[in-house]
Structure 1
């Protein structure tokens, strides 16, 4: 099994973006400095760190609350830790 991605919910997207890009030197996938989402990759390896605007995710989760899939199960958003293998 291999770690593919960790997603962080952040309140100050721009500051976090600059920290991961400028201080840590990770490569942004799209250059979305103002968010609401960006994935960063290291120079070596395949695991990435993704930033997600916290307020946008809270809004999305609020919209999903109580929704059911075709089988009648409650919908859950589970994409915080992605694993391959």
Structure 2
């Protein structure tokens, strides 16, 4: 991972952060800081990978792929988890 000193907020990234903020807000009047939203998104990604790995012994690969496949976590039948970013 390359470390950068600034985070460029494109319009699309701003919309995604706003939508994610709504998901973790305590109520409609809560406005969590961006760092909390980013921390929650990172934690969710890490936990999703762990959940997928744990489910591999219980469920068939097609079911896991149908439920867990996203634009971030790409699952191929009977192979590994890979990131589609970059």
TM range (shorter): 0.3 to 0.5
From the CA coordinates, give the structure whose radius of gyration is larger: 2
The TM-score, its normalising length taken from structure 2, stands at: 0.33
The TM-score, its normalising length taken from structure 1, stands at: 0.34
> Higher strand share goes to which structure?
1
Higher relative contact order (CA 8 A, sep 6+): 1
> Higher helix share goes to which structure?
2
